[in-house]
Amino acid sequence: YSTSKNGELFKKTQELLHLIGATRLAYLITKADSIYLNNKANNKYKTQLFDHLDKDYQKAIKGENLTGLKNRFIRNNLHAFVDN
């Protein structure tokens, strides 16, 4: 995902997380994207630069029921997932 061309997967992931209501996770993706872009010439980015986000990520995963948010979004927007 961090090797995607021009960061398009970062942007798409942020958009999709916001769309389903996972705002804390979307914020963390935004932070990770910024860290990546500011350090992509640095070979250490793959491990060390993201370590400080681990605790925030764990809190966000526990606080935002990603499966529940996804399921609610699908139920509320069923027309977008089913052919008529």
* 3-state SS assignment for residue 50: coil
Q: What is the pLDDT along the chain (84 residues), one digit of tens a residue?
A: 455 566 677 788 899 999 999 999 999 988 988 888 888 777 655 667 888 888 898 998 889 999 999 999 999 999 888 886
Written as one letter, the residue type at 71 is N
What are φ and ψ of residue 25, in 5° steps?
A: -65, -40
CA distance 42 to 78: 44
Residues near 61 by Cβ (< 8 Å), separated by ≥ 6? 25
